[in-house]
């Protein structure tokens, strides 16, 4: 692709990049430009480096540290994106790159990879294999960064944002890796001597835990208000959908367990199998804690985000209305008709009477849906393994971005 040595423009057509992100060991296939302002509001873009091979390594390192801002032409943006994917580990572990820039790079690349996985044609084994390979490559390159406690300073800046399936999945995979790495003693039997591979698989599980939502109708996933009972059941099917989509993927047993059982509750009131206590695999319990923590601290269409403190108060709180909550949850799962008898006395219009009776039943059903959500926020300690939840709080509290001392 032929590019000019010099351009005079308002800046359109150029993208700023961090010079420290360029790996001297990897000869990048793009030209680097500097930008100089001109008096008429235009800029002069002058090529600094056409061919990295023309410089000795030590000289290139000096220049990359000297340059504060550099630019690439938009015609080579795809080349740069491909370069980032292949050098993600270098960027994430670079001591001189700010953690905010590392986080933004990781999120951008991860969203691209996860979005493509969610768009995979699961009927084509070749497409599934390629997409899964991209996910595992991403995690393998990022694992040293996301499993480091210090990286949580980067995830703190994502707390409170709008809930998006792709971003949520990335944060869950990230927090899973950090927790597992910080609590190795819990997983000795699982990883059998190959801890790095187990760590990677735990992060992959977090990244793909909601993949089954591709089978849930978009009008339900994107609904602005609360879900009715039937919609609630459809969404709960996503764990089984995930397992079916990944059945022949070759993922480890622990990964599949985390994905299938990450909504099982400690008291047996969860789904899809109603497992409880020791019946629930350890990695699934961890995924459940991380999933709920991020869901509560994310902004939804129907409710504001919680702060980490508020979320953990709910997660650690005893629910005084547990019997009523379980009753409403059971009604929802079984899609029972709302138990209300509507009596409308109108001898003149049978159709009007039936319509009003239907409205009364629907109104009562809506109230019970709202009550279910409200009651759940009164306390969720029955959902989690108490020791694991305490370890999770202790783990993320090691980051400077979290102050959870009141729970310790």
Report pLDDT digits (tens) over 75-132.
888 888 888 888 999 899 988 888 888 888 888 898 888 888 888 888 888 888 888 8
Domains parsed from the chain with CATH numbers? 1-79 (no CATH), 87-318+379-407 (1.10.3210.10), 322-376 (no CATH)
pTM of the model: 0.83
Nearest to 213 by CA among 182, 244, 253: 244
Percent of the chain with pLDDT over 70: 85
Question: What does the pLDDT profile of the chain (408 residues) look like in tens digits?
Answer: 578 889 999 988 898 888 888 887 776 677 888 899 998 889 999 988 766 666 676 777 777 778 888 888 988 888 888 888 889 998 999 888 888 888 888 888 988 888 888 888 888 888 888 888 889 999 999 999 999 888 888 787 777 666 677 788 889 999 999 999 999 999 887 777 789 999 999 999 999 999 999 888 888 887 777 777 778 788 888 999 998 888 888 888 999 999 999 999 999 988 888 899 999 999 999 999 999 999 899 887 767 888 889 999 999 998 887 887 777 777 766 666 555 555 555 555 666 666 666 666 666 666 766 666 677 778 889 999 999 999 999 999 988 778 787 776
**DSSP-assigned letter for residue 162:** B
Q: Look at residue 1 in the predicted model and tell me its pLDDT.
A: 55
Cis ω before 272 (30° cut-off from 0): yes
Edge-to-edge strands, sheet with 70-73: 6-9, 43-49, 32-37, 70-73, 14-17
Cβ atoms < 10 Å from Cβ of 248:
10
How many angstroms separate the CA atoms of 290 and 172, rounded? 6
| pLDDT per position as a tens digit, 191-204 | 777 899 999 999 99
Contacts of 219 (CB under 8 A, 6+ apart): none
Condensed to tens digits (0 to 9), the pLDDT of residues 211-256 reads: 999 888 888 887 777 777 778 788 888 999 998 888 888 888 999 9
Q: What is the pLDDT of residue 205?
A: 94
Cα separations (Å) of 46 from 54, 57, 184? 17, 22, 51
Is residue 64 within 8 A of residue 97, CB to CB? The reply is no
Three-class SS state of 117: helix
Per the document, the length of the chain is 408
Sign of CA dihedral 152, 156, 158, 164: positive
Q: Say what the pLDDT of residue 351 is.
A: 66
- Nearest-5° Cα angle at 338, 336 to 343: 140
User: What are residue 202's phi and psi, to 5 degrees?
Assistant: -65, -40
- Report yes or no: 210 and 286 within 8 Å, Cβ to Cβ: no
Q: How far apart are CA 366 and CA 227, in angstroms?
A: 9
Question: Could you give phi then psi for residue 194, rounded to 5 degrees?
Answer: -110, 75
Q: What is the pLDDT of residue 65?
A: 79
């Amino acid at each position: 692709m032929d590019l000019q040595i010099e351009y005079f423009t308002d800046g359109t057509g150029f993208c700023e990049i961090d010079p420290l992100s360029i790996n001297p060991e990897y000869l990048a296939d793009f030209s680097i430009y500097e930008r100089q302002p001109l008096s008429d509001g235009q800029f002069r873009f002058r090529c600094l480096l056409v061919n990295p091979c023309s410089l000795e390594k030590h000289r290139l390192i000096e220049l990359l540290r000297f340059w504060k801002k550099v630019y690439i032409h938009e015609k080579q943006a795809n080349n740069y994106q491909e370069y980032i994917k292949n050098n993600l580990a270098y960027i994430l572990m670079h001591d001189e790159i700010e953690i905010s820039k590392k986080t933004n790079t990781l999120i951008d690349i991860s969203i691209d990879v996860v979005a493509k996985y969610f768009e995979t044609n699961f009927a084509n084994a070749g497409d599934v294999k390629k997409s899964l390979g991209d996910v595992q490559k991403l995690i393998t390159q990022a694992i040293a960064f996301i499993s480091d406690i210090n990286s949580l300073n980067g995830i703190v800046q994502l707390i409170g944002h709008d809930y998006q399936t792709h971003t949520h999945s990335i944060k869950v995979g990230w927090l899973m890796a950090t927790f597992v790495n910080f609590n190795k003693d819990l997983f000795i039997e699982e990883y059998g001597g190959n801890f790095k591979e187990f760590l990677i698989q735990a992060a992959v599980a977090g990244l793909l835990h909601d993949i089954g939502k591709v089978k849930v109708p978009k009008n339900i996933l994107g609904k602005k208000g609360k879900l009715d009972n039937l919609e609630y059941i459809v969404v709960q099917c996503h764990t089984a959908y995930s397992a079916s989509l990944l059945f022949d993927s070759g993922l480890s047993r622990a990964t599949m367990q985390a994905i299938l059982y990450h909504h099982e509750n400690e008291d047996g009131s969860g789904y899809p199998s109603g497992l409880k206590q020791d019946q629930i695999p350890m990695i699934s319990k961890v995924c459940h804690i991380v999933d709920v923590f991020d869901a509560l601290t994310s902004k939804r269409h129907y409710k504001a985000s919680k702060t980490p403190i508020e979320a953990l108060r709910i997660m650690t709180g005893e629910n005084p209305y547990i019997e009523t909550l379980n009753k409403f949850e059971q009604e929802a799962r079984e899609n029972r008709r709302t138990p209300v008898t509507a009596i409308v006395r109108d001898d003149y219009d049978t159709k009007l009477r039936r319509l009003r009776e239907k409205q009364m039943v629907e109104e009562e059903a809506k109230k019970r849906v709202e009550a279910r959500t409200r009651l759940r926020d009164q306390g969720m300690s029955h959902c989690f393994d108490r020791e694991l939840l305490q370890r999770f709080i202790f783990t993320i509290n090691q980051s400077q971005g979290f102050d959870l001392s009141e729970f310790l």
